[in-house]
Amino acid sequence: MTSTGGSHDRLPAALRTEALEQLLTERGLIDPDVLDGIIATYETHVGPLNGAKVVARAWTDPRYRQRLLRDGTAAIAELGFSGRQGEHIVVVENTPTVHNVVVCTLCSCYPWPVLGLPPSWYKDPAYRARMVREPRRVLSEMGLELADDVRITVRDSTSEVRWLVLPERPAGTEHLPEEELVPLVTRDAMVGVAKVAAP
């Protein structure tokens, strides 16, 4: 495998990490299950919950929504979420006619402070290559059927810009307060490979 160079020069680091993990596991110095547990916690609890709070706030506070779409990083920091891999987050809104979906074509750039660590499918070479070429088909395979008149915009995350999708608020949730909207918002909806379902 060769390096792609530039700001995306991360493949060697990923390979080195994998080699180190294997070596440490073989020597009995780390337990891969424990490691997986930590990663799973980040992926499914710590990270996406932060993003869900951002989305629920935007759904219930129009002025916050405006600030979020204007300067994602600053509006997200208002809720206390900032740090590594979140220095420049741009938030884009999904609507009935425009659907944004996020990919990192070269590696796995992802907004850690709001979504945690990327899931394995996000790092998969097939997802990264095909989402750009045939997004409607890939989304369909992932369970999201979009009408032909919905325009799909694929956002390529990089080390300079990390994208976060503000999903559509589902119909029938108009009466729900912010705190009851939070658990409805999924990681997949904030990457743009799913919609938020009504409860």
List residues binding Fe ion (CB under 5 A): 104, 107, 109
Nearer to Fe ion, 104 or 181 (CB): 104
Nearer to Fe ion, 131 or 182 (CB): 131
Q: Please confirm, yes or no, whether 104 is among the known catalytic residues.
A: yes
| Shortest separation between residue 191's beta carbon and Fe ion, angstroms | 14
- C-alpha torsion sign, points 28, 30, 35, 37: positive
| Shortest separation between residue 157's beta carbon and Fe ion, angstroms | 6
Q: Please confirm, yes or no, whether 107 is among the known catalytic residues.
A: yes
Nearer to Fe ion, 104 or 184 (CB): 104
- Residues 6 or more apart whose CB falls under 8 angstroms from that of 138 comprise 127, 130, 131
Tell me which of 107, 120, 157, 159 is the catalytic residue.
Answer: 107
Tell me which of 3, 7, 108, 140 is the catalytic residue.
Answer: 108
Q: Please confirm, yes or no, whether 108 is among the known catalytic residues.
A: yes
Shortest-Cβ-distance residue relative to Fe ion: 109
Q: Please confirm, yes or no, whether 82 is among the known catalytic residues.
A: no
| Shortest separation between residue 112's beta carbon and Fe ion, angstroms | 12
| Shortest separation between residue 69's beta carbon and Fe ion, angstroms | 23
Tell me which of 3, 7, 82, 109 is the catalytic residue.
Answer: 109
Nearer to Fe ion, 58 or 104 (CB): 104
Residues noted as catalytic: 104, 107-109
